[in-house]
């Protein structure tokens, strides 16, 4: 599942750290924070240190400084991309915020392959999951996990718009087609998500806000723009948490892309302080992804 670990480990073997000429403080940061090493490898003299990490740190900041993609140069990447880990943590955070206090139904559209959902269900034993996908879902059926027929997807909104127990919606579905039709396929996803949220009226929905390649503006639900930990450095969108009754607002796609580029190329490799000890391993350090994981799991344990 990890898409950048091997290249990063190869980079570590091939870098002559003495040639970086780091002082004692930066050498210690380099040694203990493998996900931040690209800063020094690319010629940076220091890592920006962030003392505060809170709920707002998990949102895409739409007031970020302007970032010009043309300034991005080819450089080594030492952050990591774990697809399933990314999904699991994002789902944990969503259900911690919107599902811990009461029993309700979680409708998960686009659940395949779903290898993390059995574990997710164990973390939230009071929730009932319905997994919907036209592709094969690897999740095991349990008393609280249901896998209806894939053909059910077409009638999903109609069925779950009927009065029943309170629900939330997680949507990670993707329409696929020819390369030239990417924007059209993403638009289909966005329309489907919108219709499901409006029809099913969940308490909250975890959707995906896709960044169009050709359109500069988008009218969509107002909500929290979530930064997924362990994601790609070149995402085509971000997750969007929408609550019942959310109004429609205009999104500036150019600004969204600029803010995301600023996060990926600046904020993601800042040094975020935390109090977890024994960090002298490759698994956990002070990058944004690690700090987010600590924050998400701490919030889960607190609630």
Strands (E), the chain: 49-50, 105-109, 128-132, 145-146, 167-171, 204-210, 217-221, 224-226, 237-243, 248-252, 271-272
| 251: its two tokens | 């999104």
Q: What is the pLDDT of residue 268?
A: 97
Q: What is the pLDDT of residue 165?
A: 76
- Nearest residue to 217 via CA among 247, 248, 179, 181: 248
Query: Measured between alpha carbons, how far is 262 from 71 in angstroms, rounded to an integer?
Result: 11
Strands (E), 247-288: 248-252, 271-272
Residue 288: Cβ-neighbour burial (10 angstroms; 0-12, 13-18, 19+) = buried
Q: What is the pLDDT of residue 178?
A: 46
Q: What is the pLDDT of residue 103?
A: 77
- Nearest residue to 240 via CA among 291, 185, 171: 171
- Per-residue model confidence as pLDDT tens for the chain (303 residues): 577 778 888 888 888 889 999 999 999 999 999 999 999 998 887 899 999 999 999 999 999 998 877 666 678 899 999 999 999 999 999 999 998 666 789 999 998 899 999 999 999 999 999 998 888 889 998 999 998 876 656 676 667 766 567 899 999 987 654 455 678 888 889 999 999 999 989 999 999 999 998 889 999 999 999 999 999 999 999 999 999 999 999 999 999 999 999 999 999 999 999 988 765 555 899 999 999 999 999 999 998
Query: Measured between alpha carbons, how far is 279 from 37 in angstroms, rounded to an integer?
Result: 15
What b/e string do you get for 253-273 counting C-beta neighbours within 10 Å, with b at 16 or more? Answer: beebbbbbbbbbeebbbbbbe
What is the distance, to the nearest Å, from the Cα of residue 108 to the centroid of all Cα atoms in its chain?
16
Sequence-separated (6 or more) residues with CB below 8 Å from residue 16: none
Mode of pairing for the β-strands spanning 128-132 and 145-146: parallel
Query: Measured between alpha carbons, how far is 228 from 235 in angstroms, rounded to an integer?
Result: 10
Query: Measured between alpha carbons, how far is 270 from 291 in angstroms, rounded to an integer?
Result: 10
Contact by Cβ (8 Å): 41, 20: yes
- Nearest residue to 246 via CA among 300, 205, 302, 277: 205
| Beta pairing partners, 108 | 131, 170
Tell me the backbone φ, ψ of residue 282, rounded to 5 degrees: -80, -10
């Amino acid at each position: 599942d990890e898409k950048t670990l091997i290249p990063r480990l190869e980079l570590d073997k091939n870098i002559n750290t003495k040639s970086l000429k780091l002082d004692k403080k930066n050498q210690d940061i380099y040694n203990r924070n493998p996900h931040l090493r690209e800063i020094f490898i690319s010629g940076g003299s220091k890592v920006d240190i962030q003392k505060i990490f809170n709920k707002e740190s998990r949102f895409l900041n739409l007031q970020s400084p302007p970032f010009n993609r043309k300034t991005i140069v080819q450089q080594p990447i030492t952050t990591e991309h774990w697809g399933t880990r990314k999904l699991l943590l994002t789902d944990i955070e969503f259900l911690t915020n919107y599902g811990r206090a009461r029993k309700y139904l979680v409708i998960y559209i686009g659940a395949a392959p779903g290898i993390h959902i059995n574990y997710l269900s164990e973390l939230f034993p009071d929730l009932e999951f319905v997994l919907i996908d036209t592709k094969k879902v690897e999740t095991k059926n349990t008393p609280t996990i249901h896998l209806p027929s894939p053909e059910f997807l077409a009638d999903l909104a109609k069925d779950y718009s009927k009065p029943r127990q309170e629900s939330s919606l997680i949507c990670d579905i993707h329409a696929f087609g020819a390369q030239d039709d990417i924007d059209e396929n993403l638009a289909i996803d966005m329309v489907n998500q919108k219709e499901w949220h409006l029809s099913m009226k969940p308490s909250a929905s975890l959707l995906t806000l896709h960044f169009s390649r050709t359109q500069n503006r988008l009218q969509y639900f107002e909500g929290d723009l979530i930064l997924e930990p362990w994601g790609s450095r070149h995402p085509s969108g971000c997750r969007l948490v929408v609550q019942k009754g959310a109004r429609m607002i205009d999104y500036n796609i150019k600004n969204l892309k600029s803010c995301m580029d600023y996060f990926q190329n600046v904020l993601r490799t800042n040094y975020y302080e935390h109090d977890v000890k024994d960090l002298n391993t490759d698994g956990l350090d002070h990058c944004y992804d690690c700090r987010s994981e600590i924050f998400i799991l701490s919030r889960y344990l607190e609630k």
